[in-house]
Amino acid sequence: MDEPRLSDGLDKPAIVIQAGQFLGTVCRAGGAECPLISADEAQAIRDRTLADPTLTIQLCSDCEETPHYTNLTAEHYAARDPQIIRNRKRDLDVLQRLGLVPGDIRRARYLYELLFQRIETPWGICAWNTPGWEGCPLATSGAFERMRDEGWKAFVYDRTEQEKADYRARNEEAIATGDRIFMRPHHMMCLACGWSGGDVDRTRPNDTLYEILQRMRAQPDIPVTLVEGPCSACDCCDGYHPETGRCVHAGGLIRDYKKDLDCFQRLGMMPGDTMPARELWDLLFATIESTAEICGYINDEVTANEWSVCSGPGGNAGYVKTRARGVF
């Protein structure tokens, strides 16, 4: 029987835009009449990203369309619009800062978060002191900086506090009364890290891992079914999208899907497998000694921003403490 599948949309962009224009959506929101993108276009994009947390954006550049010099004449060079050249540099400047290449597709939240982390001002991207390269006179208007101060939530859908609280209450009830718990395998490790051998014995604001731990400690033989993707800990998270059941946090935390599969492989289990909580903890701690083996990809190598190492290199000390003390 074929299992139901959701398209994550990461290979099918909802919006295709030049990288420089993407920066321009921020300047437009800040009140600057950016020449790269019209007010209507910028507002239409903002309306869509504020409404749909799954929305994906592809950042483009025409740099690879540049013809070979043997196909160009002096007339071609004379007829060139310098603004096109400046725009091409702007596209690549933005992409370089974001650690991306032309054609890359990411969720809107990921891109706006990354943009505000890595670009503080459009000066040096949209304008310069070089004669002939002065660029946009609005680069020093403060429009971009004003919106940067507001952050990604000014551009991208975010769950309300009431909605998250309602889902937390619903999830806590299910955890407390259900006949089993559904867990991503790497969330077992997150739980161990967060509890830190009992040093941090309290609930967490963005998940219900602590509530799961309390049910397990009270009922060590409760069945735990391991799953891929969002689980019993996720419903109150700011990155959980109830409409699709999908994680839309930043880049979708694609690294967490790898962590799950790495855990399944190490444990010798498959999605849907079920085991009493006590036995699962014993297997996990006997098999995986450090988070570096899963969350650090064994060698702690960060190959891209999307593949960052959780808790930094060397592994999480909280996991080691919980493993040494035990959960029960």
| Spatial separation of the C-alpha atoms in residues 73 and 150, rounded to whole Å | 48
How crowded is the C-beta side of 5, counted as CA atoms within 13 Å? 6
Q: pLDDT digit string (tens) for 238-286? A: 999 888 888 887 656 789 999 999 999 999 999 999 999 999 999 999 9
* pLDDT at res. 65: 85
* pLDDT at res. 252: 61
Mean pLDDT in residue range 292-316? 91
Q: Is the pLDDT of residue 227 over 80?
A: yes
Rg (CA), the chain: 24
* pLDDT at res. 174: 95
| Spatial separation of the C-alpha atoms in residues 298 and 306, rounded to whole Å | 16
Domain boundaries, the chain: 15-154, 161-325
Q: pLDDT digit string (tens) for 134-163? A: 889 999 999 999 999 999 999 999 999 999
pTM: 0.91
Neighbour count for residue 255 (Cβ, 10 Å):
18
* pLDDT at res. 7: 66
Evaluate whether 18 touches 24 at the Cβ level (below 8 Å): no
* Residue 130 DSSP label: S
* Residue 307 DSSP label: G
Lateral strand order in the sheet of 181-183 = 181-183, 223-226, 274-276
Residues 6+ apart with CB under 8 A from 17: 25, 37, 45, 57, 58, 59, 60
Token pair 């403060």: residue:
142
